[in-house]
Amino acid sequence: LESSLLTQPWASVCFGESAFLAKARFGDTGYILLISDLSSVWYESADTEAVGQRSKELNKRLMIHVSSFLHHLCNVMSPLLAGQSDATTSFSCHRTAGGLSLHVKSTLSGLPFYWDFHCCPAPVEMVSRHLVRPLIRMSLALQYQVQELTSLLLQKDAEIEDYRESGATLSRDRLRTEPFQEEMFQQNFMAEVRSGAS
């Protein structure tokens, strides 16, 4: 499940006033959930035995197979991870000394359905694999893209200047642009980033 979790995108989720990033993968034999507030990363991995035991403790009136619990959990979590609200499901979380607990309240077969995800701190290798390395790869890809676009803009400016020197004029003055200044662009961009972060 963890290897297939790598292909899942991170989703922005809110529990009360707290914002998190989360991703999850559910299968017939268990699930894995990863949650981060960008300061800490927590996870829970549960197999069918753990799911069966916890479902008996939390949902004594529901007598269904573990695979049905897992399927319902997937259906409950999918709207949350897709950024959609579901009026029939509520989520809450609280931090504990050793991790993070996520509480789910829903219905299943007309009966109340409860679930608790007990997340513990994720190991360094897991954090690196799911968060650090993908962010660094994306950052490098975006840097390369900016370099390519900057080069293209400078070429376009040179092309436009050549047209002007040849006597070409704009038919609509509102289309006139100033030559691209890379250093000024970088300074303005970083100022916007700093103001957005503060």
The string of pLDDT tens digits covering residues 141-192 is 999 999 999 999 999 999 998 988 898 888 888 888 888 888 888 888 888 8
Q: Tell me, yes or no, whether 117 and 144 share the same domain.
A: no
Residue 140 φ then ψ, to 5°? -65, -40
Please write the tens of the pLDDT for every residue from 16-57: 788 999 999 999 889 999 999 989 999 999 999 999 999 889
**89-97 own/partner pairs: CB under 8 Å, 24+ apart:** 91/13, 91/15, 92/15, 92/16, 93/15, 93/16, 93/18, 93/20
Residue 94 lies in a domain: yes
Please report the pLDDT score of residue 70 as a whole number.
Answer: 92
Domain containing residue 65:
1-122
Residue 197 lies in a domain: no
Residue 196 lies in a domain: no
Q: Tell me, yes or no, whether 112 and 136 share the same domain.
A: no
Q: Tell me, yes or no, whether 74 and 160 share the same domain.
A: no
Q: What is the CATH number of the domain that holds 11?
A: 2.170.210.10
* Cα separations in angstroms, 31 against 34, 38, 84, 91: 10, 22, 21, 18
Q: Domain end: 90, 122, 154, which one? A: 122
pTM recorded for the entire structure: 0.77
Q: Tell me, yes or no, whether 109 and 29 share the same domain.
A: yes
Q: Domain end: 122, 147, 174, which one? A: 122
d(CA 93, CA 117): 9
